[in-house]
Amino acid sequence: MRRIDEQVFRLLLLAVTLAFAWILQPFYGAILWAIVLAVIFAPVHRRLIQSMRGRQSLAAAVTVLIIVAMVILPLTIVAASLAQEASDLFARIKSGEYNFASYLQRILDALPAWSTGLIERLNLTDFSALRERLASGLMRGGQVLAPQALSIGITTFEFILRLGIMLYLLFFLLRDGRALAERIKEAIPLHSDRKAALFAKFADVVRATVKGSILVAMAQGALGGIAFWFLGIHAPLLWAVLMAFLSLIPAIGSALVWLPVAIYFLATGAIWQGIGLILYGVLVIGLVDNLLRPYLVGKGTKLPDYVVLISTLGGIEVFGLNGFVIGPLIAAMFMVGWEIFAGSRQTDGA
């Protein structure tokens, strides 16, 4: 009878847990970033507690204000400027001011004869048709986006709602996070050593993912944007954000943006600009990862580049923008879990 009662209770516990996760699902992004920011700014919160003589609530509130000033407000300003630049670029492409066919033709004319012959055999020289397809695609995109203009207010309201939930939850995670983590540890039916290892690795992975990937990507994007602004390239902020996202892809990353621009400079006779951009991209943008990542990550969990690539792209495919963090986090916890399991089997075998 006791065994049946235990099984029924476990089924009930599983059911209410799934139901709780289901009702939280619309706000999973806000919950995720509240947890991430709480982990990242936990050292700041601890220092504030010491300076404020143990006032937990006051320290948590000040930490939230610091996060708003350092992270949320700058991102909001950048997002507004980015939307303006993207709209302006779209208008210029639609009006024909930016003619990609002519840009590609200039590059083609500057290539050696053997390469142009190969391109012609592959039938890749019909740039006028490419321009027409690009223009028609932009027109269709505009027709699709135009009816959505009325939903901007609703989208803005949803964003503000999720931001408020994130900040509200962040306050309590900072104030009560340690006690909450201890209660979760006690509830997980695992050996204490494994629980301690998993929780420690979780914090390391979050810091490594944010500091080692997102902050490095932001640095590379900012450096690339500065170079584009200095060279007089239109919409440098837009290209900077694109380089920041592509920097999350190992090995190539931001070079997918600045290298074609450098090639265009070389092909159109702007030799010094092209050479300067290539040197800047290789020596400054390319090396910032090697210089900043060890300092930001320290001894945190470091995934192989191919795992980062696959988990990042897979995370974006499944979770959208939040997949930049969720994908590598799941991959790292997967590898750590199997590492702990393999180590325990070796210990048991010994």
Q: What is the pLDDT of residue 206?
A: 73
pLDDT exceeds cutoff 80 at 318: yes
Structure confidence by residue, pLDDT tens digits, 27-55: 888 888 898 888 888 888 889 888 888 78
- Give the range with max mean pLDDT: 134-148, 193-207, 212-226: 212-226
Q: What is the pTM of this model?
A: 0.68
Q: Greater confidence, 346 or 212?
A: 212
Coil, helix or strand at residue 333? helix
Q: What is the pLDDT of residue 182?
A: 77
Residue type at position 145? L
Q: Taking every pair of C-alpha atoms in the chain, what is the biggest distance, in angstroms?
A: 86
Closest CA to 65 of 153, 181, 171, 140: 171
Band of residue 141 on the pLDDT scale cut at 50, 70, 90: very low
Count CA atoms within 13 Å of residue 275 on its CB side. Answer: 4
Radius of gyration of the chain measured on its C-alpha atoms: 25
Alpha-carbon distance 46 to 341, whole Å? 33
User: CA angle 136-128-102, nearest 5°?
Assistant: 110
Alpha-carbon distance 262 to 107, whole Å? 11
User: CA angle 293-221-258, nearest 5°?
Assistant: 115
Q: What is the pLDDT of residue 151?
A: 43
